[in-house]
Amino acid sequence: MHALISPSILSADFANLERDLHRIGRADYAHVDVMDNHFVPNLTLGLPVVKRIIEVAPVPVDVHLMIEDADRWAVEYAHAGAASVTFHAEAAQAAVRLAREIRSAGARASIALRPASPVEPLLDLLPEFDMVLVMTVEPGFGGQAFIDGTLPKIRRLRAAVDEQGADTWIQVDGGVSRSTVATVAEAGANVFVAGSAVYGAPDPDAEIDALRALADEAIARR
């Protein structure tokens, strides 16, 4: 297992998105946050803009939907060409059915949990999801401090994935930087969303390499 880095373009310059997408060419994915100002108190991008991002991005696009009507909209992002589509467990009425629809549309299907949401309801359903995203900050805004209390959840999820032999990735999003990436990797994550840490660096691609190296070292120690 190797670490995958998915920089969040929430920290990019929205007036120069194509330029800033090409500043993360060494990333594994580009993480695109879609917010509706209902599920979270912020408003970002919608389907037409994300579709264009997918067309010009130098790496596959990892869409994170922080929206209320996930059952209605998630599959549309898969049809638009997203490599991975994440919806929130708290916003889906039929999570397994939705995940299967996303897969049928050609994307990886992922389910996300807010920091206070328990992971236990998902543990018997892990084969239905290609990835589980554990939010390590409250969703809605970039630049927040990492919540240490999410680490036990990541550990329980990793134990269940390993016990079942499931091919389910574990992603973390929020407060990921050089000071935290090894900690969450040791806890069990293998996909890391980093926004301000990457785009706030003088050389985003060099920062991606540094984060990946630190995470790989921690994964090897598990």
Binning the chain into helix, strand and coil, the percentages to the nearest 5 are: 45, 20, 35
The question of whether 173 is a catalytic residue gets the answer yes
Residue 213, class by beta-carbon neighbours within 10 Å (0-12 exposed, 13-18 middle, 19+ buried)?
middle
For residue 40, the model assigns a pLDDT of 92
Residue 191 vs residue 143, higher pLDDT: 191
For residue 221, the model assigns a pLDDT of 94
Of 20, 62, 130, 173, the active-site residue reads: 173
Residue 141 vs residue 108, higher pLDDT: 108
Of 33, 36, 62, 130, the active-site residue reads: 33
For residue 140, the model assigns a pLDDT of 76
In the chain, what percentage of residues exceed pLDDT 70?
100
For residue 144, the model assigns a pLDDT of 77
If you average pLDDT over residues 97-104, what whole number do you get? 98
The question of whether 33 is a catalytic residue gets the answer yes
